[in-house]
Amino acid sequence: MKNSRPVSVLFLLTLLFALGCNLPRITLTQLATETPIPPPPTAEAAPLLSTVELGLVENPLILALSPSANSPEQISAAQLIASQLTERTGYAVVTIVPNSYAELVDALEKGNAHIVLLDPYAYALAYKKDLVRAAYAVLEESDDKYGAQFIATRKGGFKSYFDPVTEENTADAKTALTQFADKKPCWSDETSPSGFVIPLGFLNQNQVAIRSAAFVEGHPTVVRSLYAGGICDFGATYIDARKFPSLEDTFPDLMEQVILVWRIPEIIPYNVFAFSTIMPEPMRDLFTNTIPAIMQTDAGGVAFKNAYDIEELQPVNDAFYNDFLEYVDESGVDLSTLVK
């Protein structure tokens, strides 16, 4: 049940300290005047008090930073967000810093994280375990998703099914990709969504059996490998890796020789802001509605930028990620190996 009035942040953290919870004080005064700012506990150290009502001082909601968060500025910003969430909702909120997305998913499973920013693979794994519900898609330059492309060489005898004028495919995936049967791909790396996992998912869904791949470490390297020849027959990259500056400068005829065969639709998401399924739906709704209000303030906008590198969010639900989840499944790659 929601508290009847906001909890004083200073009172909250003082009481937590008295209870023996190893958590930093989160006050606006401290954030403004004290340096260095003590780091919040890791996901492993966060308290798990399942017998106490979630959101009370004794069992606070836990806001997780990204695993890469390690600067005082990021920690300070997250603590400011937590204090604002507490002030605006009346629920106790504290912060943690996980060491990895794998640890963060584990923390969700143990009830040691509730408000989280996940990369696409971590979201997929957590969603499949019924640990989270998506609330916001993080936008990059106002885009909510991005696509990929299959490329090959003209001298290899491959046909393009993409119209560069309209920027649309001229055939379905099966028609375009069947020509890759029993051919050798160059993939970027073993975790790349656009350079391996999602393209492999499209091939598998369309029953295109391919030869063992070469992982060449980098999207420009995929393009370079195709241009050089003798390494692989086709590849996949982000759109449009062929225009990488050093490639165009080194190989003036590259765009003519390495052709775009078929473009994968924009189904690959950026990061996902999500809530734990442990949180009751009314509580999730309250926090979903509170986050934009915080971001619309000058201090809140800066805090989300500093803590999470978020400048713009778009409200979504889990259906928004259905296509991505489908092709990750089709790839056959073990999700747990993709979550780092």
For residue range 132-169, list pLDDT tens digits in order: 999 999 999 999 999 999 999 999 999 999 999 999 99
Q: Is 169 found in the same domain as 138?
A: no
Q: What is the pLDDT of residue 247?
A: 94
Q: Is 305 found in the same domain as 262?
A: no
pTM of the complete model: 0.86
- Tens digits of residue pLDDT in 300-331: 999 999 999 999 999 999 999 999 999 999 99
H helices then E strands: how many in the chain? 14, 13
Q: What is the pLDDT of residue 70?
A: 86
Please, how many CA atoms are within 13 Å of residue 46, restricted to the half-sphere of its CB? 31
Give domain status of residue 170, yes or no. Answer: yes
Q: What is the pLDDT of residue 51?
A: 77
- Tens digits of residue pLDDT in 261-296: 999 999 999 999 999 999 999 999 999 999 999 999
Q: What is the pLDDT of residue 21?
A: 37
Give the C-alpha separation, 237 to 218, whole Å: 9
Q: Is 66 found in the same domain as 43?
A: yes
Give domain status of residue 331, yes or no. Answer: yes
Q: What residue numbers bound the domain in which 118 lies?
A: 9-142+270-338
Give the C-alpha separation, 193 to 330, whole Å: 13
- Tokens 């470490």 found at: 217
Number of domains in the chain: 2
Longest dimension (CA), the chain: 73
Give domain status of residue 90, yes or no. Answer: yes
- Give the model's confidence band at 41: pLDDT under 50 very low, under 70 low, under 90 confident, else very high: low
Give the C-alpha separation, 128 to 321, whole Å: 12
Give domain status of residue 82, yes or no. Answer: yes
Higher pLDDT, 61 or 9: 61
Give domain status of residue 1, yes or no. Answer: no
Give the C-alpha separation, 202 to 225, whole Å: 22
Q: Is 134 found in the same domain as 213?
A: no
Looking at the DSSP bridge assignments, the partners of residue 64 are 96
Higher pLDDT, 123 or 16: 123
Give the C-alpha separation, 328 to 148, whole Å: 14
**CB crowding 100-113: b at 16 or more within 10 Å, else e:** ebbbbbbbbbebbb
Mean pLDDT of 329-335: 98
Q: What is the pLDDT of residue 230?
A: 96
Spell out the residues 6+ positions from residue 191 whose beta carbon is closer than 8 angstroms to its own.
Answer: 121, 197, 338, 340
- Tens digits of residue pLDDT in 160-200: 999 999 999 999 999 999 999 999 999 999 999 999 999 99
Give domain status of residue 259, yes or no. Answer: yes
Spell out the residues 6+ positions from residue 5 whose beta carbon is closer than 8 angstroms to its own.
Answer: 90
Last residue of a domain, one of 268, 287, 321: 268
What whole-number percentage of the chain has pLDDT above 70? 85
From residue 95, alpha-carbon distances to 87, 237, 339 in Å are: 15, 37, 21
Higher pLDDT, 296 or 41: 296
Q: Is 150 found in the same domain as 132?
A: no
From residue 318, alpha-carbon distances to 135, 180, 186, 281 in Å are: 8, 33, 32, 14
- Give the model's confidence band at 45: pLDDT under 50 very low, under 70 low, under 90 confident, else very high: low
Do you know the residue count of the chain? 340
Q: What is the pLDDT of residue 236?
A: 98
Which CATH number do you get for residue 193?
A: 3.40.190.10
Q: What is the pLDDT of residue 319?
A: 98
Q: Is residue 4 pLDDT above 80, yes or no?
A: no
- Give the model's confidence band at 15: pLDDT under 50 very low, under 70 low, under 90 confident, else very high: very low
Q: What is the pLDDT of residue 18?
A: 36
Give the C-alpha separation, 28 to 9, whole Å: 9
Give the C-alpha separation, 122 to 328, whole Å: 12
Higher pLDDT, 210 or 38: 210
- Give the model's confidence band at 14: pLDDT under 50 very low, under 70 low, under 90 confident, else very high: very low
Mean pLDDT of 14-38: 34
Q: Is 112 found in the same domain as 19?
A: yes
Q: Is 301 found in the same domain as 165?
A: no
Q: Is residue 244 pLDDT above 60, yes or no?
A: yes
Q: Is residue 13 pLDDT above 60, yes or no?
A: no
Give the C-alpha separation, 265 to 258, whole Å: 20
Give domain status of residue 88, yes or no. Answer: yes
Q: What is the pLDDT of residue 278?
A: 98
- Give the model's confidence band at 68: pLDDT under 50 very low, under 70 low, under 90 confident, else very high: confident
Mode of pairing for the β-strands spanning 93-96 and 115-118: unpaired
The chain-wide mean pLDDT, for the chain, equals 89
Last residue of a domain, one of 245, 268, 291: 268
What whole-number percentage of the chain has pLDDT above 90? 83
Percentage helix, strand, coil for the chain under 3-state DSSP, each rounded to 5 = 40, 20, 40
Last residue of a domain, one of 268, 286, 321: 268
Q: Is 210 found in the same domain as 197?
A: yes
Q: What is the pLDDT of residue 249?
A: 85
Burial (0-12, 13-18, 19+ Cβ within 10 Å), 183: middle
